[in-house]
């Protein structure tokens, strides 16, 4: 596809404006506080599948409206299966600048792919989508970036594609090399351990496309390779998936919403906010995902922990 020919598609009263060649589109012409028509839901879903991450501006949603908007696209998970949820709002995960549970101590070995991840790939059924809402946003700094794992797969050479098609990897929550988890991080990860084996190439269940499923923060080892082989190949793949031409960078405002497909993307939360005194607060919902399947038809396997179910089911237990 020549993405350059697409300029502002108009579907179901919505305007879909692409932001880069391979990933990201801004959608306008809709009020997300209200129930959507079936045509609007279908148009947003189609844009999500095509552009991998879609953005909305000036949508000042309450937690309840955020949940109601999300529920039109699937079942919501608990806020976060390891790191909890906002009190009184089981489906909402707080992404605050100063949250302790996901911060690390020590001197991490920083590489270009450090911090890039796909949400909750330590679970056997990672959420299919995430919906992030900006509330307190710094006047500058704090942008988020996403990369398109389908185009990354397609841009590998054919022999390397054939090789990675048959590989599988182990995913778990762990601090980056050189750093250690805070007490809160280690306790959460020990109390609710999740470890899964996923194919390195995931077949998208809706589009049939292949994605390089190599969440840099959580994928620790390629199964069957020696530690050195695994590390060298992973570094090559991580360097590749984070190439700037596969990415989009989003400048948040209060009221912005980002809605992304975790089956086809990885993203990078900002670290420049820690060099600035401004606060930053966002809230996230995630939608229950299926178990990934590789090109050979083999599904992912849970090594430790249970699938991430719907928040409603967790609340009933």
Q: Is 133 one of the binding residues for ligand SIN (CB under 6 A)?
A: no
∠ CA 74-78-83, nearest 5°, is 140
Decide if 31 is catalytic. no
Decide if 80 is catalytic. no
The C-alpha atoms of residue 65 and residue 59 are separated, in whole angstroms, by 10
The C-alpha atoms of residue 209 and residue 67 are separated, in whole angstroms, by 29
Q: Residue 237 or 258: which CB sits closer to ligand SIN?
A: 258
Q: Residue 126 or 270: which CB sits closer to ligand SIN?
A: 270
The C-alpha atoms of residue 107 and residue 114 are separated, in whole angstroms, by 12
Q: Segment contacting ligand SIN (CB under 6 A): 84-92, 176-184, 263-271, 298-306?
A: 263-271
Q: Applying CB under 6 A, what is the total number of residues that bind ligand SIN? A: 9
Decide if 210 is catalytic. no
CA 292 to chain centre: 14
Helix segments in the chain, DSSP class H: 38-51, 63-71, 149-154, 158-165, 183-191, 227-241, 311-316
Q: What are phi and psi of 204, to 5 degrees?
A: -65, 125
Q: Is 144 one of the binding residues for ligand SIN (CB under 6 A)?
A: yes
Q: Is 215 one of the binding residues for ligand SIN (CB under 6 A)?
A: no
> Taking CB under 6 A as the criterion, which residues in 66-95 touch ligand SIN?
95
List 242, 284, 285, 308, residue binding ligand SIN (CB under 6 A): 284
Residue 11 near residue 20, CB atoms below 8 Å: no
Q: Which of 45, 85, 89, 119 is catalytic?
A: 119
Decide if 272 is catalytic. no
Q: Would you tell me which residues interact with ligand SIN (CB under 6 A)?
A: 95, 130, 132, 144, 267, 269-270, 282, 284
């Amino acid at each position: 596809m020549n993405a350059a020919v697409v300029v502002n598609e108009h579907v179901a009263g919505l305007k879909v404006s692409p932001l880069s060649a391979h990933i990201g589109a801004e959608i306008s012409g809709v009020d997300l506080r209200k129930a959507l028509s079936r045509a609007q839901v279908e148009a947003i879903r189609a844009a999500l599948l095509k552009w991998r991450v879609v953005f909305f501006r000036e949508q000042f949603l309450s937690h309840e409206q955020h949940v109601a908007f999300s529920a039109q696209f699937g079942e919501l998970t608990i806020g976060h299966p390891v790191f909890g949820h906002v009190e009184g709002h089981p489906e909402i995960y707080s992404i605050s600048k100063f949250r302790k549970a996901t911060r690390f101590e020590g001197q991490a070995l920083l590489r270009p792919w450090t911090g890039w991840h796909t949400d909750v790939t330590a679970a056997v059924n990672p959420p299919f989508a995430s919906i992030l809402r900006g509330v307190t946003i710094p006047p500058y700094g704090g942008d988020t970036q996403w990369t398109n794992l389908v185009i990354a797969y397609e841009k590998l050479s054919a022999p390397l594609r054939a090789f990675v098609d048959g590989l599988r990897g182990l995913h778990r929550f762990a601090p980056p090399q050189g750093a250690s988890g805070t007490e809160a991080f280690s306790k959460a990860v020990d109390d609710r351990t999740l470890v899964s084996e996923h194919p390195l190439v995931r077949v998208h269940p809706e589009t049939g496309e292949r994605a390089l499923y190599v969440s840099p923060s959580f994928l620790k080892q390629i199964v069957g390779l020696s530690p050195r082989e695994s590390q060298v190949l992973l570094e090559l793949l991580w360097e590749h998936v984070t190439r700037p031409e596969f990415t989009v960078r989003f400048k948040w405002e209060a009221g912005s919403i980002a809605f992304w497909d975790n089956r086809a993307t990885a993203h990078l939360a900002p670290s420049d906010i820690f060099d600035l005194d401004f606060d930053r607060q966002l809230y996230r919902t995630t939608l229950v995902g299926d178990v990934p399947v590789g090109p050979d038809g083999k599904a992912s396997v849970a090594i430790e922990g249970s699938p991430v179910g719907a928040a409603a089911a967790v609340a009933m237990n």
